[in-house]
Amino acid sequence: MKLITPILAVLLVVLAVNSAFVVREGESALVTQFGRIQGDDGKTSPDYAPGLHFKIPLIQTVVRFDRRMLNLEAKPERYFDSGKNPVNVDFYVKWQIENPALYYRSFGADSFQSQANSRLTPIIKDPLRFEFNSHTLSDLIASARSDITERVRDQANKAAAGLGIHVVDVRIKRIEFPDEVLLSVYKRMGSERTRLANDLRSTGAEQAAKITADANRQVQVIKAEAERDAQTKRGEGDAKATEIYAGAYGKNPDFYALYRSLDAYRSAFGGGDVIVLDPKSEFMKYFGEAKGDTK
């Protein structure tokens, strides 16, 4: 009898401990009895909110679920765009357990969400493949990516409505060409850049030729105008010199004649050549005459 009392006390403590359970923040829980969800009458939610709760010990079991944001990292998948170009797409999904009862019926306890991720992966891939097949690669890379992920998210939520899952977001991390396509893409890019460089060079050469031709034309115009102005100045100078010479001749014709003759002698005899002249010629008259007072 002395042993029965402690044993009963221990059993009561064990039963009391097993009858209470705590749901932590960020979790929800279901109480099952022989595999059936307790309190699931179709009107109220059978899941337990964070806090202290009680159950029948040894008969009922607590199944806990993570209600925080969960992440699905999918392996890169090969898709084809509308132009039949192959691309490798890397994406991830953010999702939550929205209805623990539906989730439990679909996947059981599934503590690590492995079954849910396996089921969710094709639900995401099918609409994503359809979107890629409907768009060009440039649209996928540029402005259409956010629209595509929104449509994929909406389609995934429709498909996962009976699983107790809510897809919060779908994001494309990376779009890459397969290795066997990269070389041809690089060659095409190189050819395009070479063509663009040649176009720029030809345009530059054409502009340079136009600038050179215009500069040469301006040089010829400037030279012609300068020569014209120079000829005008020379003419004006010659006219002025003639006017001066004429004035000088009018003042003293004999002196002017002598001056002009001396200038002519200087020009004729300054070269060092032999010249044969008649001493009695008009050109040599100043050599044959001696005028002036010799006193």
Amino acid at 147: D
pLDDT in tens, 20-52: 888 999 899 999 988 888 887 766 678 888 998
Separation of alpha carbons 94 and 71, rounded Å: 5
Q: What is the pLDDT of residue 43?
A: 65
**End-to-end CA separation in angstroms for the chain:** 189
Listing DSSP states for 23-35 in one string gives EPTTEEEEEEETT
Listing DSSP states for 199-241 in one string gives HHHHHHHHHHHHHHHHHHHHHHHHHHHHHHHHHHHHHHHHHHH
Contact 142, 98 (CB under 8 A): no
Rounded mean pLDDT, 64-92: 88
Contact 71, 124 (CB under 8 A): no
Position with higher pLDDT, 39 vs 9: 39
Q: What is the pLDDT of residue 294?
A: 43
Give which of 196, 164, 210 is closest to 63, Cα–Cα: 164
- Enumerate the β-bridge partners of residue 255: none
Listing DSSP states for 92-147 in one string gives EEEEEE--HHHHHHHHSS-TT-HHHHHHHHHHHHHHHHHHHHTS-HHHHHTTTHHH
Q: Would you say the pTM of this structure is higher than 0.85? A: no
